[in-house]
Amino acid sequence: MTRLPHLALSLAGLSLLGGCAGVPSGTQPVGDFQLERYYGQWHEIARLPNSFEEGLSCVTADYSPREDGGVRVINRGLDADKGEWSQAEGRAYFTQGSETAALKVSFFGPFYGGYNVLALDDDYQWSLVAGADRDYLWILAREPQLDDGTYQALVDKAAELGFATDSLIKVEQGETCPVADGES
């Protein structure tokens, strides 16, 4: 498995160019957020194009507690052209209190980008996540596939919030994805 130095550098650039780990204007992170329920593995169902995930499929994010009270973040994806898994480890911290799903995340030193849950299933089975601005958007789910109705509702919500949903990339997931080293 290779590390993603370009991922870390891109996220550092995102932090510097985006200016902060804020929330896109006109949006509101989910309240009544329960971090313990958010822990575990999420599958990336769709994303807006970004340089640090270019060419990656079978993308997952794993969230777990850190000893310092933060969140350990492990992002993993398959570069099918190279036949290799790529992984980046980061850390995240709340920016508006632990009941509001607004966090700052870093994969590179002191540089942070926004991680804002804008919509979340009551049972924590899917989420709509944005960066600090409308250039970054992800649809995540606990399972590798999301039913068409839920997917379309999330796309519609993102469009209402001003995201360029016509540019969303559906991420290859499911049975076509081999198991990464170290996963079971």
**pTM value surpassing 0.95:** no
In the prediction, which pLDDT does 183 show? Answer: 55
pLDDT digits (tens, 9 = 90+) for 8-59: 333 434 433 344 779 999 999 999 999 999 999 999 999 999 998 999 999 9
- DSSP label of 96: S
Average pLDDT for 113-129: 97
pLDDT in tens, 64-99: 999 999 999 999 999 988 989 999 999 999 999 999
Rounded CA separation 162/165 (Å): 8
Per-residue pLDDT, 92: 97
d(CA 48, CA 168): 5
- Determine the distance from the C-alpha atom of residue 1 to the mean position of all C-alpha atoms in its chain, rounded to a whole number: 20
Q: The tokens of 53 are what? A: 């995930």
- Examine the pLDDT at 61 and tell me if it is beyond 50: yes
pLDDT, tens digit, 9 for 90 and up, residues 158-176: 999 999 999 999 999 977 7
Tens-digit pLDDT profile for residues 48-58:
999 989 999 99
Whether 129 contacts 30, CB under 8 Å: no
Integer Cα distance of 176 and 184 in angstroms: 16
